Amino acid sequence: MNFCPNCGAKVNYQIPEGDDRPRHVCPACGEIHYQNPKLVVGVIPEWQGRILLCRRAIAPREGLWTLPAGYLENGETAADGARRETWEEARARVDDLVPYALFDLTFVNQLYLIFRGTMLSEDCRPGDESLAVGFFTEAEIPWEAIAFKVIEETLRRYFRDTSGPGFSFQTGRIHPPVRKE
């Protein structure tokens, strides 16, 4: 950040009085501009033992598969945001949302909150951000074409839970992908 969005003055990067880390501070109006992680919300849409995945039509990771998910908007509950993302990306309706997983992605300043949800019907089609949508069992998942490490980890834990005594709330930290030279 170079300029204050409130008054337009050039900001300083400094530790404000009473704080413990550097922030963008406007010397003109005194505003401290806090930058906090973004919350990504999504759903594992379930339909008759299969889950719905979307093939991305946008960057990053265009052409790869993911769960319907995206940034929570101001004024939305987390569940409402997850429902909206499912509609936008897969034109699918989900209900009975239950929080399933919370992952920290500190390397990109994001938190992922993924719900389990039941589709109201099998009706779905690609939204503007998807090339295709499809239903998958664990054996049918295109594991080599999953867009994001956090989605792969969520799916692996989900399928592990489906063969166990039940679902438990999952938490963890996703580390940056290792670049292959």
Break the chain into its structural domains and give their ranges. 1-35, 38-173
User: What order do you get walking across the sheet with 32-33 strand by strand?
Assistant: 12-14, 23-25, 32-33
* Cα–Cα distance list, 119 to 87, 88, 115, 138, 162 (Å): 11, 14, 12, 18, 17
Cβ-Cβ contacts under 8 Å for 143 (sequence gap 6 or more): 152
Structure tokens, 91:
């034109």
Q: Is the pLDDT of residue 14 over 90?
A: yes
Structure tokens, 46:
């379930």
* Cα–Cα distance list, 168 to 32, 79, 100 (Å): 39, 18, 7
CATH architecture of 38-173: Alpha-Beta Complex (3.90)
Predicted pLDDT of residue 61: 96
Query: Residue 153 — φ and ψ, nearest 5°?
Result: -65, -40
Listing DSSP states for 59-123 in one string gives: SSSTTSEE-SEEEPPTT--HHHHHHHHHHHHH---EEEEEEEEEEEEGGGTEEEEEEEEEESSS-
Predicted pLDDT of residue 145: 98
What would the pLDDT profile of 58-71 be if each residue is shown by its tens digit? Answer: 999 999 999 999 99
CATH assignment of 1-35?
2.20.70.10
Closest CA to 99 of 84, 121, 124, 77: 77
Handedness of CA 103, 83, 89, 74 (dihedral sign): negative
What would the pLDDT profile of 27-61 be if each residue is shown by its tens digit? Answer: 999 999 999 999 999 999 999 999 999 999 999 99
Q: Is the pLDDT of residue 180 over 80?
A: no
Predicted confidence band of residue 177 (pLDDT cuts 50, 70, 90): confident
